[in-house]
Chain A
Amino acid sequence: MATESIKYLAPDADNKAKTQVFPRPGQHTTGLVDWLTTIDHKKIGLMYGLTALFFLIIGGIEALLIRSQLWDHNMAVLTNREYNQMFTMHGTTMVFLVIMPLSAAFFNFIMPLQIGARDVAFPRMNALSLWCFVGGGIILNLSWFFTGGSPAIGWFGYAPLTDTRFAEVIGDMGPDFWIFSLQILGVASLLASFNFITTIINMRAPGMTMMRLPVFTWMTLIVSFLIILAFPAITIALVELMFDRTYGTNFYDFLEGGKPHLWQHLFWIFGHPEVYILILPAMGIVSEVIPVFSRKPLFGYGLIVFSGAIIGFMGFAVWSHHMFTTGMGVVATSAFAMLTMLIAIPTGVKIFNWIGTMWGGRIRFDTPMLFALGFITMFMIGGFTGIMHSSVPIDAQHQDSYFVVAHFHYVLIGGALFGLFCGFYFWLPKLTGRMMSEKVGKFVFTLMFLGFNLTFFPMHYLGMIGQPRRTHTYNEGHGFETWNQIATVGAFILGVGIAIGVLQFINSFFNKKLKPAGKNPWDARTLEWTLSSPVKEYNFARTPIIKARDQAWENNYGPKENHSEKEPLDDHGVHMPDRSWWPLITALGLLGLAIGMLFHRTIDPSGELVRDYTYPIIAGAVAILGMIMWALEGPGGYHLFPKEDEE
């Protein structure tokens, strides 16, 4: 990315590393070492995105296996246990290894550009988040290869399915892998969120007031708060479960005084905010895309921001709608039903804002816009079914049926995934510097839209006529076959659509024949579109001084007083922090700690349980050492001297 005008200036002589275990990679590092030690938010975002797309393929294959098993009554593609493993891994993968990291990819790549920052507040910590995410993904998928195979407990891991006493396979390690993987992924999400919160609160360019922040950045902030407040509940629940399984405590062991019900509460106290963690980033993306392709400013900016905040806040007060049939008592049940109905209001407000934005606009139907429209329509259907099962008696019918499966796929695929694909089609040109084919894009959209609705719309009906979810097969004579077959065909169409889309994204990185994007191919409104595509490593040669909300748009079309200005060039140059090995090494230490804890127990020949903590201790020491060296090495840095307009 370096341009000729960039002089390399040796960092202050005394800043040169003293004796170091690993020499710190310098400014001109390239290749693998660059990727492993990078602290550039753009490269980290890219790695988040590519890894998540990889897991999307894995999770997709699992889904297609599930759908094949349900093609006809009493099929034998999968055994019942394999089926349970498949939906557990599918759910866990899609939630934690696909939608969340894809959102994180956009947070990383886009948010700093939108607020006029050169990077996030803590670049090395950002790298640690990335590597922890990769580590968590590895642990989860390693489970296939050890005793018992993958977990067969659902993505919700309900007790007492996780009780060692009820393991279908003696010494089943699946749930342990699941626990440790989620813990490491939790570390990744928490660190990333602390980082984003600090960045958005503290690193805005001059003039970028909170109420001028692009909506996507607002949603990043809200989601980060949701993560830091919701993840502790699951982390502690998992710690308790880990103690139950490893040290014999009785938290969820109903034979010894524990209450499986408590697990459900703790899981959903996390779980419901989690669904907003999954959807709000997509809402942010769509809120950026719709105004651009309607040639109008966003309708009701303040309302969209505040309804997002209210959704986030109320999201903590509705968790028990997942537990209506557990017998919580009339008062609790009614209260949660009422709050659940209420939360639909801010959601509806947003939908009306998007419609209001399009109203009277000059709409362009480019691929990003198609995905945004797909998002609105399908998310609405998912929202409607959500409101349906906020009613307690109706939910008693829906619970554990395919109707619920239809609901959450409409919000998760039709909502979150379509929103994220919308983001890819919109922002990938900024990342690669190349436009993608509209024809292929529209083809992908058509396949995904058709395939998705073919798969999941019939599930509403299947649920109504009584097909239970999480059940590996059904008998003849219920009339389930036809609709299941339609759903399976749809799933394969959806799969093909997603696969072509992913190939198209990857192609745009390498295919030099694609049209160059230029700074602002969509004539968009936010700050990232004032930069060249691909963005230079320092983002902004001079820090912009923000004068209005839709700054890029105002620069092109607004009155003179709304044009952004720039801070003068600093003769110190642009300070860039140095790359570092320590985030990767710390993450490896944590990965080793988790794996060490998974295998620290053995049974010796006499049948005694032996605990050996050597490996966890070594790995833990590596992690701690990594952190100490990290603190000692400091941010370091070098200076770049871009010319005035090189950005």
Chain B
Amino acid sequence: MSDASAHALEHHEPVTSTGIPNKKVLMWAFLGSDCMFFGTLISTHLIYRKISATVGGNFLDIRDVFDIELTSFSTFILLASSLFMALAVSAIHKGNLNSTRWMLFGTIIFGAIFLACQVYEFTHFIHAPGNELTLSTYRGEPHVFGSTFYVLTGTHGTHVAIGVFWLLGWLAYSFTGKMSTAHALDVEICGLYWHFVDIVWIIIFPVVYLMEYAL
């Protein structure tokens, strides 16, 4: 948003009925809806999880495929990124541009590490020798696990990637010299999204990964 329009906004940002800014209500409504998106994907995964339709009689023990150490690490990284995000929001509220920049940068890097882990994980699973798990097969036989697993975690990864690009946008903007506390709301909303995507992962990680080791 350009300076001029931000200026226009300051003049005309309507006093809302609830006192909550419009953009924030919008983001909350979107997140409510996004819960249902992930709810549907996670249910699909859980419903299919125990269904082994392997034609060749290979029982799928997904533990042979998973690399739980790596995923635990990337989970930790993603959760840690939320801290940077929160600090970035607090910094921009205080008008501390330099610290905002660094915190945004930290969030982006951690988000990118998470994404890199996911890319590594996917390629690794698809080519796992003797245990290839693709979108439609396991060990070369038709299977559903790959379908639900990749589409679910891939959708989450897409969310993270969108978040990373959004944050990159703000980071770039901070170098134009136009960024000020007037943008605190926008960064905060970006943060809402980022935290939400993290929380979704807090559900996906136990339900998709850890549970395979417990049940």
Contact = CB atoms under 8 A, between A and B. Distances in A.
6 contacts: A15-B8, A193-B29, A194-B26, A256-B143, A634-B1, A634-B2
Interface stretch (A42-50, A94-102, A246-254, A387-395): A246-254
Interface in B1-21: 1-9, 11-12, 14, 16-18, 20
Interface string B154-184: 0100000000000001000000000000000
Given A248-B136, A634-B9, A18 B2 contact: yes
B112 interface: no
A416 to B, nearest CB: 24
Given A250-B142, A256-B144, A575-B11, A636 B33 contact: no
Interface residues of A, number: 55
A637 B8 contact: yes
A209 to B, nearest CB: 9
A232 B39 contact: yes
A631 B40 contact: no
Contacts of A240: 44, 147, 151
Given A232-B36, A250-B144, A636 B25 contact: no
B8 A635 contact: yes
A56 to B, nearest CB: 28
B81 interface: no
B53 A229 contact: no
Contacts of A632: 1-2
Which applies to chain B's interface (DSSP): helix, strand, loop or mixed? helix
Contact of B4 (A198, A248, A634): A634
Interface string B114-149: 000000000000000000000110000011101110
A194 B29 contact: yes
A54 interface: no
Contact of B48 (A203, A237, A255, A259): A259
Interface residues on B, range: 35 or more
Interface string A612-647: 000000000000000010011111110000000000
Contacts of A155: none
Contacts of A121: 22, 25-26
Nearest to B2: A634
A636 B148 contact: no
Interface string B91-125: 00000000000000000000000000000000000
A636 B147 CA distance: 46
A321 to B, nearest CB: 20
A250 B147 contact: yes
A14 B4 contact: yes
A198 B135 contact: no
Contacts of B47: 259, 262
Given A249-B151, A637-B8, A266 B40 contact: yes
B59 interface: no
Query: Which of B18, B30, B33, B41 has the most CB atoms of chain A within a 10 A radius of its CB?
Result: B33
Contacts of A259: 47-48, 51
Identify the interface centre among B5, B142, B151: most chain A CB within 10 Å of its CB: B5
Interface of A: 11-12, 14-15, 18, 121-122, 190, 193-195, 197-198, 201-204, 208, 228-233, 235-237, 239-240, 243-244, 247-251, 253, 255-259, 262, 266, 269, 572, 575, 628, 631-637
A14 to B, nearest CB: 5
Contact of B12 (A193, A202, A637): A637
Nearest to B39: A232
Contacts of A243: 135, 147, 151
Contact of A204 (B3, B17, B53): B17
A122 B41 CA distance: 29
A201 B136 contact: no
Given A243-B151, A633-B2, 4 more contacts: A194-B29, A204-B17, A244-B147, A250-B143
A194 B22 CA distance: 10
B73 interface: no
Contacts of A202: 16-18, 20, 22, 25
A203 to B, nearest CB: 7
A121 B14 CA distance: 10
Given A15-B5, A633-B5, A251 B22 contact: no
Nearest to B142: A256
B56 interface: no
A208 B144 CA distance: 53
B17 A239 contact: no
Contacts of A266: 40, 44
B154 to A, nearest CB: 10
Contacts of B151: 239-240, 243, 249
B53 A256 contact: yes
B32 interface: yes
Contact of B147 (A236, A251, A637): A251
B6 A229 contact: no
A581 to B, nearest CB: 16
B213 interface: no
Contacts of B41: 236
Contacts of A12: 4, 7-8
Given A236-B41, A248-B135, A631-B1, A198 B25 contact: yes
A194 B30 contact: yes
A151 B26 CA distance: 35
Nearest to A261: B47
Given A239-B151, A257-B143, A233 B36 contact: yes
A517 to B, nearest CB: 30
The 8 closest A-B pairs by CB, nearest first: A634-B5, A257-B53, A256-B142, A232-B36, A249-B147, A202-B16, A236-B40, A228-B33
Contacts of B1: 631-632, 634
B37 interface: yes
A201 B20 CA distance: 10
A198 B32 CA distance: 13
A197 B16 CA distance: 13
Nearest to B51: A257
B79 to A, nearest CB: 25
Contacts of B20: 202
